[in-house]
Structure 1
């Protein structure tokens, strides 16, 4: 009996072992084994997980045709049909990477984005701008602390990588903003007209920007306005310089809102307190106001309107460099209005972004001289301009990280210039069409390819501008990008002479970038080369009223130039508790033969070395934020260029002293943590150039070249004190969180 039982057990064991079939194989991605892949027979409990080399092995008693599945969170699922008979099965699988928006590499050469999508490496969000010492709450001033932007204090504009301030354009919700800066007098930079809190995000491109934008040789700043506010709020601000108030009303359905604001500024009191370098016979003052509404459609679209106006006046008196009179005087009256209407709506697989804007700007400058308290030699420079922009873009997703977009744009300008006996009229319609595609080949490789075509009715010419950018992930946190683009821009209307046959100015950009981004830290290295062709050449015209009224008239497109350099940016929010700091450095080698330059020269707005350091610390115990910034810039060149015998010659030249400025700002938040409070207050103290360094921006020369005067900031050290109250919305916690 025992022998029979042993025989039966052995027999059934043999049969059972015989029925077990072994399934083995290897799972790879680009010829490398992949671990942690779940391999299972579908609708059974049989399966295994791959080892470090990607190998797997398991046994099954199933028979017949079955589906073998391969599952890993970073790769696409694979299903393979196998036939299980009486022999072991060997089967291998080659995985395909699962492409998604979170893991995909993004082209970033030449650009820095600050938005909800880029919180990990976001730069220059509204809170960043408000809490950067020395930025004065202005977007353009805060950009000076990023690599690629030159520190130029005597005139407004973004001077990017060897380009003039007019070679960078600013857009709001896709539409061009003409006259982003306020009107001003020679030697004093205009300020931002737009409130920083109006925008929720921005993309700053110092080169190689998208085909959706044009008419800029050097760079582009794309601003995105806020959608709906979180709730109804009322805001009030007061300081020795200005007073303003605003409100935003959110509807009960939370699908629409409207708001208005108004403000008045006057520098008269501060001029009496501080020792100004500039003699303001009429202190700068201005009125401004704006209105907006926002509507969210039932299908998720958005209609947004923003309109604003401002007016400003000032008068400046300077000691004359000419022997015929004692002082030179200039009076300014400026007016501006801007309206922007944008619409965003998805139609099936297509997304439509359309917008239009209108702006009007008038700058009235009156020049005169003064001798023995009597004015004489009066003259006027009156600029008057109307501008209309319309743009429509249709975007279609191809897959999760690929898209195709295209559209058209119209830019109309109608300008008038009156200068003594000179009367200029300029009308131009620039019609543009563009197409661009984002191609995501994998999570490690992507490309952006685009082309833009423009036609100018004034120049009677058409251009075609290709754009290309590539990005590749080198390692987990390391990416590299390359960008190339051809860019065109019309000559500035103030230089245009009706007798000159002019064409587009153009530049080519080559940009290479390496970037490492981790939570709380960002490191960027960028190298670039820019080649300029067909730049405008001019000659000087000097009417009898004096050197302050010197104008230049274009006569050819024979100018050229180049700019090349290296840039480094490091930001760290993680290493030190409650401290956020960044360091940026730019090296720039640039030369140009343009405007009235007699030969190829280093531009007078280009500094060879620029270093900026920004540090922010919030102290919870004191409810106080302390912010420091420092900027160093190698001294820029200066030139005294005159026209003699129909030729431009350099009469005087040299190099300015190095620029240095240390700035401090302190923000006190007394209502921190009081969530049930009805009003939230922020006190601000800001000191620019706290060490009182006497910086110089340039020189003015007399007509004979024997006398000169320095161009300097209106004041060496400036102190601002202000109080801001918000009723209804606690904005202090946002400020604190973004500071950490």
Structure 2
């Protein structure tokens, strides 16, 4: 096996270095003739490019031939484009002129990170995600390399600044996604349902977000799908875990895209067994399609649909609870439909209309005992309309309305198939929002917004005021944000016995500063979140009497220009969280919150080999847990978490990409607290077992092949 891999690697090197290469070089200056350091220069539709040095000079090689389009960009300057034969680009002089900022561009928020829209190379939007060492090609895994996120390895979901995973909500083209994660077995980290190649921009707000977004106490993840495909393309991918394919058909003003993937861990588990006994290993079928068309001269309509089916059977032995061995069976069907229309009138009024539907059906057989069953169904309809317009120079208004219609039902049958539980809830939530962006003084911008919600479940009105103040210099920014955010409790809580339940509240206080210069970014933020009206279980009945707090700070540094071909970032987050909620008898640190989180992530490009290498190191201090053998409630701290993750992306040819990754290379056995028996043994000791992921490390190798595309290294079906 090793000999075969070595021969393949030698062939790969010969194949890549044998391709004819053309050198592109030149200098980038501003209108005053001063060199521009850190500008991005690239050939559109490819991964070929470089950054200018401190003298403004740049140089890189490409295998492209004939006529190409060269692009150059830098923050605060107008984009540059040149279409010419590639053999005439050996000595270029690129002149960048200052671009006057529009109001909507400069009124930025603290606590926001962008993947895609802030990048010049559009092809790197998805590859930024894929080539993050710890991501394994998952959007949520890549976002965990950012500050403010907390490592919950047995779960895999986003936990932001002391909040649980429900407090972070996902939106596609402005519309809510009810269930963005794949379903997994216990202690197996979940992955996002959506491919990063579907999106042209991924914006992640860690707090202080605008009034358009509600029903999220901590963070929002808005993602924008790509516009109409300009060319017809098709591709396939395969690995020992999965196989799939898809493509796009481009018409004159529209395009139709589709993609399907099948995942089966049978072979992988045979070669690299995990800690579980599988009767039927994890299988998943995922299909998605999108139709996009321009509407008139200024509009675009998008219709996106996705379906996932996941199933597995795991032999489960719960020795702590003295439950006999059983074959735990899970099947989930997850449907999502999203339709949006964006247009602009002749008077430059931007209009948006959207509708999104989600339906998730979960079936658990042998859930607690052999021959019992548990069925859980959730559905949601989200409707939204929005208007945006620059009223006068220096003032932009955004306003809109939306509605959520939700339903939930959970049914449990015992081993004799007697219905012991049938809980359900249906409710509507209506909201109106307004957002005012104002230029107060040169470099000083303010945002005053409000959101009014009516929750039919509690017959209550809630008002969410939000205010931000930003000062922007050429490279420096200071932001201060205050805002109030509401979110309905989980459907399982609303369906359970309760009294006077209300929406939970989080009040954000954020102060941040950032400095960006020549491809380097330093960002620091401090925050405080006050929680009120959290669900609290008192005498087996839920009340809205819980409360809590979360305070801390984040530091982030990234550098894309100091070392040629190297991009890296370093982040550190400190968090001090405590809350009284759910079944907590006293105010305590939640089980998912770790005080210290640090990460270092880097990506290096080897031009001669056409290869990207990504590495991520993650550290998290030990999380709290409850040991019933000790006094107190949350009374113990687990050992620290550490993981070293890496990946390699080989650009084998313009149509073939080989991707490999390894999670937790060192094989360190990380633990995430302990579970204990409900009753003590004969010696009065509560027996416990550590909570661990199903495997210490994870290996992946996959091949992505573009069967037809007008762009090099384009493995996206959309």
TM-score bracket relative to the smaller structure: 0.7 to 0.9
Report the Cα distance in structure 1 between the residues aligned to 2:628 and 2:167, rounded to whole angstroms: 22
SS in structure 1 at match of 2:274: coil
SS in structure 1 at match of 2:372: strand
1:657 aligns with 2:639: yes
Shift of 1:184: 2.8
Greater relative contact order structure (CA < 8 Å, 6+ sep): 2
Shift of 1:725: 0.3
- Does the C-alpha gap of structure 1 residues 262 and 100 become closer, same or farther in structure 2, counting only changes over 3 Å? closer
- TM-score of the aligned structures, taking structure 1 as reference length: 0.78
Shift of 1:235: 1.0
Report the Cα distance in structure 1 between the residues aligned to 2:380 and 2:186, rounded to whole angstroms: 23
Report the Cα distance in structure 1 between the residues aligned to 2:124 and 2:361, rounded to whole angstroms: 31
Given that residues 116 and 124 in structure 2 are in contact (C-alpha distance below 8 angstroms), is that contact kept between their aligned partners in structure 1?
no
- Does the C-alpha gap of structure 1 residues 498 and 437 become closer, same or farther in structure 2, counting only changes over 3 Å? same
Matched ranges for 1:529-544 at <5 A = 529-538=528-537
Aligned to 2:365: 366
Report the Cα distance in structure 1 between the residues aligned to 2:559 and 2:392, rounded to whole angstroms: 34
Aligned to 2:102: 101
Matched ranges for 1:572-651 at <5 A = 572-639=559-626
Shift of 1:387: 1.0
Matched ranges for 1:277-288 at <5 A = 277-288=275-286
Q: 1:685 aligns with which of 649, 656, 660?
A: 660
- Does the C-alpha gap of structure 1 residues 322 and 658 become closer, same or farther in structure 2, counting only changes over 3 Å? closer
Report the Cα distance in structure 2 between the residues aligned to 1:622 and 1:121, rounded to whole angstroms: 20
- Does the C-alpha gap of structure 1 residues 503 and 719 become closer, same or farther in structure 2, counting only changes over 3 Å? same
Q: Deviations over 1:651-706 (max 9, x none)?
A: 7742111111101101111215xxxxxxx000111111011010112322222152
Report the Cα distance in structure 1 between the residues aligned to 2:643 and 2:354, rounded to whole angstroms: 40
Report the Cα distance in structure 1 between the residues aligned to 2:161 and 2:398, rounded to whole angstroms: 29
Report the Cα distance in structure 1 between the residues aligned to 2:231 and 2:543, rounded to whole angstroms: 56
1:179 aligns with 2:179: yes
Q: Deviations over 1:20-70 (max 9, x none)?
A: xxxxxxxxxxxxxxxx9xxxxxxxxxxxxxxxxxxxxxxxxxxxxxxxxxx
1:340 aligns with 2:338: yes
Q: Deviations over 1:256-308 (max 9, x none)?
A: 00011111110111111113123333211011111111001232200001001
Report the Cα distance in structure 2 between the residues aligned to 1:464 and 1:240, rounded to whole angstroms: 52
- Does the C-alpha gap of structure 1 residues 110 and 463 become closer, same or farther in structure 2, counting only changes over 3 Å? same
Q: 1:666 aligns with which of 648, 658, 661?
A: 648
1:570 aligns with 2:557: yes
Q: 2:372 aligns with which of 379, 404, 420?
A: 379
Aligned to 2:71: none
Aligned to 1:154: 154
SS in structure 1 at match of 2:366: strand
SS in structure 2 at match of 1:160: coil
Shift of 1:122: 11
Shift of 1:343: 0.2
Report the Cα distance in structure 2 between the residues aligned to 1:404 and 1:181, rounded to whole angstroms: 34
- Does the C-alpha gap of structure 1 residues 591 and 230 become closer, same or farther in structure 2, counting only changes over 3 Å? same
- TM-score of the aligned structures, taking structure 2 as reference length: 0.80
Report the Cα distance in structure 1 between the residues aligned to 2:697 and 2:158, rounded to whole angstroms: 23
SS in structure 2 at match of 1:422: strand
1:395 aligns with 2:388: yes
Report the Cα distance in structure 2 between the residues aligned to 1:609 and 1:650, rounded to whole angstroms: 23
SS in structure 2 at match of 1:667: strand
Shift of 1:349: 2.8
Aligned to 2:43: none
Q: Deviations over 1:185-211 (max 9, x none)?
A: 333333211111111102211111110
Given that residues 495 and 538 in structure 1 are in contact (C-alpha distance below 8 angstroms), is that contact kept between their aligned partners in structure 2?
no
Report the Cα distance in structure 2 between the residues aligned to 1:278 and 1:213, rounded to whole angstroms: 40
SS in structure 1 at match of 2:119: helix
Segment drifting more, 341-350 vs 699-708: 699-708
Which runs of no fewer than 5 residues in structure 2 stay unpaired?
A: 1-31, 33-75, 77-98, 414-419, 681-685
Matched ranges for 1:211-226 at <5 A = 211-226=211-226
Report the Cα distance in structure 2 between the residues aligned to 1:409 and 1:282, rounded to whole angstroms: 43
SS in structure 2 at match of 1:194: coil
- Does the C-alpha gap of structure 1 residues 272 and 465 become closer, same or farther in structure 2, counting only changes over 3 Å? same
Q: Deviations over 1:400-450 (max 9, x none)?
A: 553101110000111101134111111010000000111123441111110
Aligned to 2:114: 113
SS in structure 1 at match of 2:248: strand
Shift of 1:560: 0.7
Aligned to 2:677: 702
Segment drifting more, 341-350 vs 101-110: 101-110
Q: What is the count of residue pairs matched by the alignment?
A: 606
Given that residues 355 and 391 in structure 1 are in contact (C-alpha distance below 8 angstroms), is that contact kept between their aligned partners in structure 2?
yes
Aligned to 1:489: 487
1:405 aligns with 2:398: yes
Aligned to 1:6: none
Report the Cα distance in structure 2 between the residues aligned to 1:734 and 1:303, rounded to whole angstroms: 24
- Does the C-alpha gap of structure 1 residues 431 and 425 become closer, same or farther in structure 2, counting only changes over 3 Å? same
Aligned to 1:543: none
- Does the C-alpha gap of structure 1 residues 561 and 651 become closer, same or farther in structure 2, counting only changes over 3 Å? closer
- Does the C-alpha gap of structure 1 residues 516 and 186 become closer, same or farther in structure 2, counting only changes over 3 Å? same
Matched ranges for 1:75-474 at <5 A = 100-101=101-102, 105-116=106-117, 118-119=118-119, 125-251=125-251, 253=252, 255-322=253-320, 324-347=322-345, 348-367=347-366, 377-399=370-392, 402-420=395-413, 421-473=420-472
> What is the RMSD of the two structures over their aligned residues, measured on CA atoms?
2.5
- Does the C-alpha gap of structure 1 residues 150 and 400 become closer, same or farther in structure 2, counting only changes over 3 Å? farther
Shift of 1:150: 0.8
Matched ranges for 1:548-567 at <5 A = 554-567=541-554
Report the Cα distance in structure 1 between the residues aligned to 2:357 and 2:451, rounded to whole angstroms: 23
